[in-house]
Chains A and B, each alone.
Chain A
Amino acid sequence: MAHEIPDPVGHHGTSEMVRSATSESRLARYVLIGIALCFVGLFVVVPLASVFTEAMRNGPGEFLTVLADPETFSAIRLTLIVAVIAVPLNVVFGVSAAWAIAKFEFKGKAFLTTLIDLPFSVSPVISGLVFILLFGSHSLLGPWLQSHGIQILFAVPGIVLATVFVTFPFVARELIPLMQEQGTSDEEAALSLGASGWQTFWYVTLPNIKWGLLYGVLLCNARAMGEFGAVSVVSGHIRGLTNTMPLQVEILYNEYNFVAAFAVATLLALLALVTLVLKSLLEMKFSEQIAASRRH
């Protein structure tokens, strides 16, 4: 965006001659744009395109046949089940955490915020490992769980727990800066007019944050459905039972069943694309209601 200085002598020079002192030469601009586009192309666009072309390598017929496989179908179902449980849990938690942190003053707030961010900086494998150490047969809880016939690891509850752990920060982190910015005056007005705490939340706070919340849910859901490392550690890879879609991709790939692996990967890539489109739309339309400075 070069705001060009009018040519003082009245020459009709080339744009190069009237270039303002606060922009680069045309050549430099083209080179930089070229580098940036090549980088994004090489590292983002080409890998994404390859997912689709590899899946379609033997034509759309085979693509559809491999997707109709019952194991793939059960992986899709498990992924949806996990997301349906984990995302709402983290929405409830995220809203209450953001509410507590943004609207109240208390000791240890910084520590609490750090704790919320923690799953972002921990390796997904470690996120899975902590649950193995907690519930595994060598742990304190393990024998008790076994004697009561409760199966957590290598079953759906373990996968849900690991997913909740990993997707923990998304909603809260999106809402905290937003709610802090909005302050407490709206809530104070509602309370002084006789609204109950719950009414205040439902009719005042929630409408104020709804787009930011949707944004957080979107990111949380994408991660919940796509999580690999943590889920891989706790799932036990039981085919048709504890395989989520990303795990199914791994198994098929390791069996050299590339078309099938990429076919399942296509579904996950579509999920990512839909997430990106919705995310961009939200950013365009409701940028003031989304904490844009905290995009990740």
Chain B
Amino acid sequence: MALGVTLSWLILIILIPLSGLVWRSSVLGWSTFWALATDERTVNALRISFGTAFAAALVNVVFGVILAWVLVRYRFPGKRIVDAMVDLPFALPTAVAGIALTTLYAPNGWIGSLLAPLGIKVAFTPLGIVIALVFVGLPFVVRTVQPIMEEIDKEVEEAAATLGANRFQTISRVLLPGLTPAVLTGFALAFARGVGEYGSVIFIAGNLPYVSEIAPLLIVIRLEEFNYPAATAIAAVMLVISFVMLFVINMIQAWSRRRYGYGT
């Protein structure tokens, strides 16, 4: 019974709508589809979406690993609050994040006015998109790496130290390699989320075609023009890339289970 409910609900809510998308892009015909998918504005939008999401995920890897390490290993006042705040980007509606970040980084905002004398423009440039995506992807790396760090056996570090490794060597050559699969998973999750992100980006991006226009926004623009084939084609390209990402994440986890005996 439970299986029946589950299946019919899944088919109704997920499978039928998604197959609608697949069907609509398949009736376009390959040459039309290819022409729409390789349209210059579309290619630029996809490049901007994937490029900024990649940059933001990289930033999140560096700071996410440090943040997770600090939360797992050190004690400091307010630690519990910091730990809880890491999840804020999950809980805060993206539109709210979008207008808050835009106001902060605009040339007359709290942070934007500090950067303006240095000649750094953030809001209404691709850099602004990266900032928004760093916010959105912040929890992913921390929350995938944190549980794995908690389980690290102190004996490994003690062994490394006994064998004459200094602390830096222990961390860079013993601890970090073991964390690689979790870090990669976190990176992939943050990246995938960033590619599809819409709400927090559209306010700060400035949405200049060919410069700071993201792919999800271009879908919306095409829909508003009633250009359904173009919207469908962009969506299909994004979907295919997302599936590849999902597949890669699963591969990383399967590999990590074999190599390190854990999967996130």
Contact = CB atoms under 8 A, between A and B. Distances in A.
Interface of A: 1, 21-25, 28-29, 32-33, 35-37, 39-40, 42-48, 50-51, 54, 92-93, 96-97, 99-101, 104, 106, 112, 114-119, 121-126, 129-134, 136, 138-139, 161, 164-165, 168, 197, 219, 222, 225-229, 232-233, 245-247, 249-250, 253, 258, 261-262, 265, 268-269, 271-273, 275-277, 279-280, 292-293, 295-296
B135 A43 contact: yes
A228 B264 contact: no
B161 interface: yes
Nearest to A279: B87
Interface in B202-237: 203, 215-217, 219-220, 223, 228, 231-232, 235
A272 B93 contact: yes
Q: Which 9 A-B pairs have the closest CB atoms?
A: A123-B196, A226-B93, A21-B161, A228-B199, A130-B17, A229-B198, A272-B91, A125-B216, A36-B70
Contacts of B76: 33
Interface of B: 1-3, 5-7, 9-10, 13-18, 20-21, 24, 63, 66-67, 69-71, 73-76, 80, 82-97, 99-101, 103-104, 110-111, 134-135, 138-140, 143, 147, 154, 157-158, 161-162, 167, 170, 192, 195-199, 203, 215-217, 219-220, 223, 228, 231-232, 235, 238-239, 242-243, 245-246, 264
A205 B198 CA distance: 39
B70 A32 contact: yes
Contacts of A24: 167
Contacts of B66: 32, 35-36, 39
B228 A136 contact: yes
Given A197-B1, A229-B198, A296-B90, 18 more contacts: A40-B82, A43-B138, A93-B5, A100-B3, A114-B246, A115-B14, A124-B216, A125-B235, A126-B196, A129-B223, A131-B17, A246-B96, A258-B103, A262-B100, A268-B95, A275-B91, A280-B80, A280-B84
Contacts of B223: 129, 132, 233
B13 A168 contact: yes
Contact of A115 (B15, B99, B217): B15
A103 B242 CA distance: 30
B234 to A, nearest CB: 9
8 contacts: A22-B157, A46-B111, A104-B3, A115-B15, A124-B216, A246-B199, A268-B93, A276-B87
B92 A296 contact: no
Contact of A44 (B88, B162, B228): B88
B91 A246 contact: no
A225 B91 CA distance: 10
B228 A226 contact: no
A169 B1 CA distance: 20
Contact of A272 (B24, B92, B101, B134): B92
Given A46-B111, A47-B97, A228-B198, A133 B13 contact: no
A36 B96 contact: no
A112 B97 CA distance: 33
Nearest to A116: B10
Nearest to A25: B167
A121 B185 CA distance: 13
Contact of A21 (B16, B167, B199): B167
A93 B14 CA distance: 12
Nearest to A93: B9
A24 to B, nearest CB: 6
B100 A265 contact: yes
Contact of A123 (B97, B101, B147, B238): B238
Contact of B91 (A28, A232, A247, A276): A276
Contacts of A99: 2
A129 B100 CA distance: 27
